[in-house]
């Protein structure tokens, strides 16, 4: 019998001073049985950093479809933003860069990220619409401590510093840009 996804409800308040975006969101996150809390919170962070009316989670890990786990898709079907997670291979990112106006990769994994980046930096440099962002391991672990089946989170973003908090604790996240899109 196949394991089912765990469902998380998130009440999210975003105050992004960098983008002048201030909005409340009610989200449902499905955590695939093979996904840990750290990865799920990196997905939520990517949502926060790109939040808009058209940004949405897809079927993600539970499907073999050619789509990302998070995207911003226009009504015309055009993909404005394609978001990937982890340490993707160049072949998959090439496919994403060819299909979307913008591609973001959120890397996490501590000491393995610099090794992965050293091996892939040259190949990924040619994709003008690709942004690669590393989320520091200590921040990923701290975000995982915020996980609850019903989360009420506040997020404040200013000068590329992200404060994510619930009623009991706050986490400072300072993403490290490894590559910025040249659009």
Q: Taking the CB of residue 17, how many other CB atoms lie within 10 A of it?
A: 12
Domain count for the chain: 1
> Whole-angstrom Cα distance, residue 21 to residue 29?
21
pLDDT along the chain (183 residues), means of 10: 86 98 97 94 98 88 70 94 95 95 97 96 97 98 98 97 97 98 87
Sheet order of strands, 79-85 included: 55-57, 70-73, 79-85, 100-107, 130-134, 176-179
Whether residue 121 is contained in a domain is answered as yes
CATH number at residue 82: 3.10.640.10
| Residue-level pLDDT at 65 | 59
| Residue-level pLDDT at 61 | 55
| Residue-level pLDDT at 58 | 87
| Residue-level pLDDT at 60 | 62
User: Which pTM was predicted?
Assistant: 0.94
Whether residue 117 is contained in a domain is answered as yes
Whether residue 80 is contained in a domain is answered as yes
Whether residue 175 is contained in a domain is answered as no
Whether residue 180 is contained in a domain is answered as no
Domain containing 114 equals: 6-162
């Amino acid at each position: 019998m196949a394991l089912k996804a765990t469902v998380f409800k998130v009440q999210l308040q975003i105050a992004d001073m960098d983008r002048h975006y201030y909005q409340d969101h009610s989200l449902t996150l499905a955590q695939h049985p093979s996904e840990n809390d750290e990865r799920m919170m990196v997905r939520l962070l990517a949502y926060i950093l790109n939040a808009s009316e058209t940004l949405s989670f897809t079927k993600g890990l539970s499907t073999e479809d050619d789509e990302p786990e998070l995207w911003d898709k226009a009504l015309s079907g055009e993909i404005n933003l394609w978001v990937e997670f982890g340490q993707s291979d160049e072949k998959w990112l090439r496919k994403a860069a060819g299909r979307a106006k913008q591609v973001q990769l959120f890397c996490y994994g501590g000491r393995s990220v610099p090794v992965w980046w050293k091996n892939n930096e040259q190949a990924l440099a040619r994709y003008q619409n690709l942004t690669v962002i590393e989320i520091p391991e200590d921040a990923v672990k701290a975000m995982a401590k915020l996980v609850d089946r019903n989360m009420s989170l506040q997020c404040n973003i200013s000068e590329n510093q992200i404060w994510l908090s619930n009623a009991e604790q706050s986490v400072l996240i300072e993403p490290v840009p490894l590559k910025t899109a040249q659009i």
